[in-house]
Amino acid sequence: MGERYDMDHVYYIDGKDWHGCPHYYEYPCVYTWVLLHEYVGIRYSLESDLLIAPKLVDYGTVELASSGIAVTYVYSQQQFILTNTADHQRTFQIDLSALYPELSISYMASGEERIMCVNDKITLAAGDNADFKIFKL
């Protein structure tokens, strides 16, 4: 991300019409947007309330308490647990392909176990969770 200066002759003598680092997020709102949507993987979706598609590099827990998001997930080697911490029922579109490439995933939600398909949608009541088990076919 760079800054554009049309007065190059006044500020700089290197002939560039912009300055800055192309791989640096200069503004906090851009950094936060990329962190939340691309790394943590929580986005709004037209087909569900939230799309969960994390691209984490290590195991751990992510908890976002903001009322618009209100979700927690736990990522481990053999399991992914998603919890709806909102005070109402919501539908989630799930894409765990970046975390578990070439592996199959089954999940238990509302007392029912199913094999997960690409961009599968699940509905969770307030406070409920979905337990995703990871395995090789």
Q: Where are the domains of the chain?
A: 1-39, 45-135
Q: How far apart are the first and last CA of the chain?
A: 43
Of 39-43, 108-112, 115-119, give the lowest mean pLDDT range: 108-112
What number of CA atoms fall less than 13 Å from residue 1's CA on the CB side?
9
pLDDT number for residue 1: 46
- Neighbouring C-beta atoms of residue 110, cutoff 10 Å: 10
| Sheet strands side by side (includes 112-115) | 60-64, 71-75, 79-84, 129-135, 104-109, 112-115
pTM for this entry: 0.76
Give the DSSP H/E element, type plus range, for residue 11. Answer: helix 8-11
Distance CA 57, CA 9 (A): 44
Say how far apart CA 107 and CA 79 lie, in whole Å: 9
Poorest-pLDDT segment among 22-31, 36-45, 85-94, 124-133: 22-31
Given 1.10.10, 2.60.40, 2.40.128, 1.10.940, which CATH number is that of 45-135? 2.60.40
Q: What is the pLDDT of residue 10?
A: 52
Task: Identify the bridge partners of residue 18 per DSSP, sorted by sequence position.
Answer: 4
- Residue 84's nearest CA partner among 100, 67, 97, 96 is 67
> Nearest Cα to 52, choosing from 28, 74, 67, 29?
74
